[in-house]
Structure 1
Amino acid sequence: MLSIPDLIKKKRDGGELTDQEIKTFIDSVTKKTIQQCQTGAMLMAIWQKGMADRETQTLTKEMMSSGEVMSWPKEWAGLMVDKHSTGGVGDKVSLVLAPALAACGCKVPMISGRGLAHTGGTLDKLESIPGFNISQSGAQIQEIMSSVGCCIVGQTEALVPADRVLYALRDATSTVDSLPLIAGSIISKKGAESLSALVLDVKFGRAALYKDLDSAKELAQLLVSVGNGLGMRTGAVLSSMDATIGRCVGNSLEVIESLETLKGNGPDDLMELVTTLGGLLLVMTGVVADQSEGRRKISEAVIGGAALSKFQAMMERQGVANQTARSLCSAHTDYYSILRRSEHQRELEAPADGVVQDVDGLTLAEVLHKLGAGRSRAGEAVNHSVGAELLVSLGQKVQKGVPWLRLHYEDPSPTPEQILRLQNVLTLGTNNNKQTEMLVKETLLPPR
């Protein structure tokens, strides 16, 4: 048996680790019998030399098995589904998709994360709802799943403990963008949910981890391969992440937009992602015959109100007071009587006449992050009220002086430099034929 330094040297020199050697490494990480510097050295060796497909598969399996693996009643077999996004600006898909899938008969044990850097986190959005508790035990998750069909929770202490260690060190060692480590982190957590089917929303573009379609597709193909290797039917959608998803960015604002979507008033781009991802999962579980039928079924669940009822039930089961949940889901809601509203709002005006050609989602998110909407390190608090509403859409004709963005902020006020950066988010042109492009560029289906 090779020692930990020998394993590091073997990978550093380009060798392939055996299944047993990978197991030894992950066991050492889990049991904390390895020095932190050795773990960091192994991560860097993997980043530099990569891993063969077999190594990545074994790494993921061992990470998944490092803690508790969920089990479900036999009658739920084939219906356990989840989705994962590689991160985006205004990405509130989970808040609409989870209850929509539950309304279609699926079981959705959605384990989500918090925002880091410029990307928002599903858990932070939900915690802007007074009383919403993302910390649920295994028994509580089972009960919520039984009564509602979906829950959105944080990772429990017992679930994939090896990932918690490696994830923190990847950030500290600049190895975040290693394909094998990304695959291991994402798929191990989903594998521990004992899913029947998983769909991955892999983003590419200006505001995504991967800027071009080809590199995002490489990640998507690896994730699909590793997920299927663990016995989950795994598919992926490649979607553009240049602007924002929907019109709202920021935790409370995104909850409001999600609720409006569940009331049938959702923006087209958000609904495109929800119906595409949900439709694919319905196909993979055999609930529907094809993606067209799946998209239609998800759309009906949202527009018809069944998904909204599931979302209300989920809120109540996860700690939100009955009256609060009912008020948020009523037809005529004063959202700010429940959700925190920022102390200040400021509207930015279009600098000239023209047609909206582009909205730079990355710059918008970076400024909001600095104003308190996000965190720079794990554990920091976020200000749920900070955010922005886009008052225009791509292809829209605007006149000089017309408000195009409403900024929600608290003290300290944005600096002149930040306001200038926000003004430069908007690109105007003269092309009157600019059409909103479809976000979904490609779909990778699992093998039959």
Structure 2
Amino acid sequence: MLLHTAADTATTVSVNSLWLLVAAALVLLMTPGVAFFYGGMVRAKSVVSMMMMSFGAIAIVGVLWVLYGYSMSFTSGSDWLIPHVLGNPFTNAGLIPLLTSSDGGPDLNMLAFAGFQATFAIITVALISGAIADRAKFGAWMVFAGIWVTVVYFPVASWVFNFTMGPNGLTDGGWIVFGLGVNDFAGGTAVHINAGAAGLALALVLGKRIGFQKGMAKPHNVPLTLLGAALLWFGWFGFNAGSEAAVDGIAALAWINTLAAPAAATIGWLVIEKIRDGKPTSIGAASGAVAGLVAITPACNILTPFWAIVLGLIAGAVCALAVDLKFKLGFDDSLDVVGIHLVGGLIGTLYIGIFGTGIGLIDTGSLTQLGAQAIGAFSVLIYSFVLTFVIGWIIQKTMGFRIKNEDELAGVDTVVHGEEGYALETV
């Protein structure tokens, strides 16, 4: 019986690790999905630049994550550099300690988890790029990505994703999850609020595009954007269900909610478009789906499917209205990183404090959880915005972040990369 139990345990661990590896591949696919999603929405002469920013994020963040990012984000006990705030970058430098487990071989579960979390860091950086489309230097973007992920994302990930569970609950972790008790299952704060606030800061640093106004530039390739949205939705099942790090009922609930919320959000966005503009659009459908995916991310483990649908409807409608704020407030968030990721992340994170099963206002009659969710969300927002603004401002004043006006008019693809997205030959 003992041998049988040990074998069953080993099999369970292997299945869970396999699921993490598959989920990590799904989440990594989301970054090319972002490249397609953003690439289709910019001008034809900016598509290469836009997509390169996503692929550049894979390159720089992937390297830094292995070198020290995992160590900074995931640590415990005496290995904290600053308890509950920042991990020691040398504890698991190069992931070397993960290469040896109790049986002498590589630690399957920990390496799978490290790979899974690496893809979260990558896509968070890639999401920011949509706010500065058509006007950023690639070299400056790569420098920014390396600095930002180090001083902003890695610490925030340690606040939100890093925790240790004991038989009686949490025993250690980052201050947002361990200290406040915030429910952020898959990154409403660490990924979407973080990226949205950073996008707003960079949009302010780089300034407006030439001729900035509503309707200034229509998406040059709608099918490309729809393909990107499809890849994002597909990969998001790994993003949310994979965050359970196990094959169990919570993972299944997260999967169902990842279907229900964005489906409802698509409807919510299209209804607003029909009322406001008279026509529902395919870009609206794609944007609505992404808004719903953003909103359900922190809440997919704690909502019933019914409340996930309600969340989706709210997020789709509100985000559809929020994307026009840039014209009223005067900041050029090119591809609506603020309107979709910052606003959607806030909606999903705060929604838990009211409708979260067993912890929200409806079930407990208490506003305690809502207060915790709000403190966690706005702490990340402020931290990310301030540091991003400083990083972006320094880069702009030193090496220059924004391309010249004449280069923007000529097209960033040919000026920065010497390539064209669509090279048409004439006979």
Q: TM-score, normalised by structure 2?
A: 0.29
Q: Which has more helix, going by share of residues?
A: 2
Q: Which has more strand, going by share of residues?
A: 1
Higher relative contact order (CA 8 A, sep 6+): 2
